[in-house]
Structure 1
Amino acid sequence: MTDQPTSSLTAETVSAILRDPDSPLYPAQITVFCDHCGFEATRDYMVSDSMASAERLAAARTHLVENEGWQHDEYGDDFCPEHASA
């Protein structure tokens, strides 16, 4: 198993990771909030101890941008789908 996060994992993959005693990955809840309205998106992500806090946040942001319509700008701000620019 790799210790790199994946944007979307199937339930079967998550189950296999959790059953693998050699896997460095484990689930962690990460919250990203909209810098416009304060809406919070809390999701479970597979992370490892080797990932810095910024890397874990980047994994959450990537998932939200690619799968849920969020936007992350060059200033480090996050915007929910309602407030993401068109």
Structure 2
Amino acid sequence: MTQPITPETVSAILRDPNSPLYPTQITVFCDHCGTEATGDYMVSGEMTSAQRLAVAREYLVANEGWEHDEYGDDFCPEHASTGTTR
């Protein structure tokens, strides 16, 4: 399960000249109502766009009540498990 990174850990990562990680802001949209969840996530330059999005999705599913289905759709907590998926 993805856990938030502490400010101390972020600071250590950013000070490490050999770390491939950097913070980036990612937004996930609910495919039912358009609600947006924007957050800062640690990613690396070697990750594809899909892999970076997966980091945000994993966090939202594990910690914020979002759902992501096999079709690639995302659902906010209000629309998760309500039959709005395909």
What TM-score comes out, normalization by structure 1 length? Answer: 0.89
Helix, strand or coil at the partner of 1:44: strand
| 1:32–1:42 contact (8 Å) kept in structure 2 | yes
SS in 1 for 2:26: strand
| 3-state SS of paired residue (1:61) | helix
Corresponding residue for residue 28 of structure 2? 32
Query: What's the offset of the Cα at 1:65?
Result: 0.2
Cα pair distance change 1:60/1:38, threshold 3 Å = same
Please report how far the alpha carbon of residue 53 of structure 1 lies from its aligned counterpart in structure 2 after TM superposition: 0.4
Which AA in structure 2 matches 1:71? E
Please tell me whether residue 78 in structure 1 is matched to residue 79 in structure 2: no
User: Structure 1 stretches (4+) deviating beyond 2 angstroms?
Assistant: none
For this pair of structures, how many residues does the alignment match?
81
TM-align CA RMSD: 1.1
Specify the alignment match of 2:54 in structure 1.
Answer: 58
Structure 1, unpaired ranges of 5+: 1-5
Identity of aligned residues (%): 78
State the 1:7 CA deviation.
4.1
